[in-house]
């Protein structure tokens, strides 16, 4: 652990090289968590200062990106999130269960194959809006899984929870996102009006008919 200046220099260079690769990831995550470019920059800097201080405790061979993201999540939770809000995040809206059948078949089709650039842009904007409406926790799940494409194991490391919890939180987050998209899809004309009436909400209907067929 003795840190002579030569070793310190080498370590600093190594740290810089490794961290540089993930700067965009960290900032992107920070921006989505804090919703403010100024706070996001502060959060990334605080994260990297911490990571540098604890760099000798990083176990070589393990996932550096997950390690950094974990530090950033912790820093965010400890510093940027007010304690009352923090409780709301984990006990509040997210605790509400989400039904399985949140998306009508028509919405699904429209969102699966957007026609033309205009519609693509419209959907992109809608996804952004739906994403911003999610709780901190749900946004973190979507970011880690769908944007950063981390494995469940890595997400579990970042969030500090069991893999089973990752699965259920992620499922809930995605369903909330879809539910929010569905809600706006009709009124924005992504889906033609009246479609919703014509189309069955997928799962419930399907489950019931299947059930009925079986019994």
Residues 173-202 that bind other proteins (CB under 8 A): 174, 177-178, 202
Structure tokens belonging to residue 36: 């403010």
Q: At what angle do helices 152-159 and 163-185 cross, to 10 degrees?
A: 100
Of these, 7, 35, 79, 85, which contacts other proteins (CB under 8 A)? Answer: 79
Only one residue has tokens 């809206």, namely 93
- Backbone angles phi and psi of 160, in degrees to 5: 80, 50
Angle 45-84-74 (CA atoms, 0-180°, nearest 5)? 30
Instruction: Output 41 or 195, the one with its CB closest to other proteins.
Output: 41
**Interface with other proteins, residue 41, by CB under 8 A:** yes
Instruction: Output 85 or 189, the one with its CB closest to other proteins.
Output: 85
Give the nearest distance from C-beta 193 to other proteins in angstroms: 21
Q: Which residues contact 48 (CB under 8 A, 6 or more apart)?
A: 19, 26, 68
Instruction: Output 149 or 197, the one with its CB closest to other proteins.
Output: 149
Of these, 18, 100, 195, 199, which contacts other proteins (CB under 8 A)? Answer: 100
Of these, 10, 14, 21, 23, which contacts other proteins (CB under 8 A)? Answer: 23
**Interface with other proteins, residue 167, by CB under 8 A:** yes
Q: Is residue 51 within 8 Å of residue 19, measured between CB atoms? A: yes
Name residues contacting other proteins, limited to 48-77 (CB under 8 A): 48-50, 52-54, 57, 67, 70-71, 74, 77
d(CA 116, CA 110): 11
| Torsion on CA atoms 16, 20, 22, 28, rounded to nearest 10 | 120
Name residues contacting other proteins, limited to 105-144 (CB under 8 A): 105, 108-109, 111-114, 120, 123-125, 127-128, 131, 142-143
Of these, 17, 84, 187, 215, which contacts other proteins (CB under 8 A)? Answer: 84
d(CA 4, CA 9): 9
Name residues contacting other proteins, limited to 144-163 (CB under 8 A): 145-149, 151-152, 160, 162
């Amino acid at each position: 652990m003795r840190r002579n200046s030569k070793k310190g220099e080498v370590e600093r260079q190594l740290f810089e090289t490794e961290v540089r690769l993930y700067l965009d990831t960290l900032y992107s995550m920070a921006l989505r968590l804090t919703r403010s470019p100024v706070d996001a920059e502060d959060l990334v800097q605080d994260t990297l200062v911490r990571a540098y201080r604890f760099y000798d405790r990083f176990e070589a061979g393990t996932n550096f990106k997950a390690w950094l993201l974990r530090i950033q999540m912790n820093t965010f939770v400890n510093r940027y999130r007010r304690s009352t809000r923090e409780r709301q995040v984990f006990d509040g809206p997210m605790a509400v269960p989400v039904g399985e059948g949140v998306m009508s078949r028509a919405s699904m089709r429209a969102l699966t194959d957007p026609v033309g650039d205009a519609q693509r842009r419209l959907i992109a904007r809608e996804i952004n809006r739906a994403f911003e409406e999610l709780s901190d926790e749900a946004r973190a799940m979507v970011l880690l899984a769908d944007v950063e494409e981390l494995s469940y194991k890595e997400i579990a490391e970042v969030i500090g929870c069991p893999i089973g919890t990752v699965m259920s939180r992620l499922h809930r987050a995605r369903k909330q996102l879809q539910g929010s998209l569905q809600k706006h899809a009709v009124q924005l004309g992504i889906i033609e009006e009246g479609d919703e009436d014509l189309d069955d909400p997928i799962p419930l209907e399907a489950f019931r008919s299947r059930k009925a067929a079986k019994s």
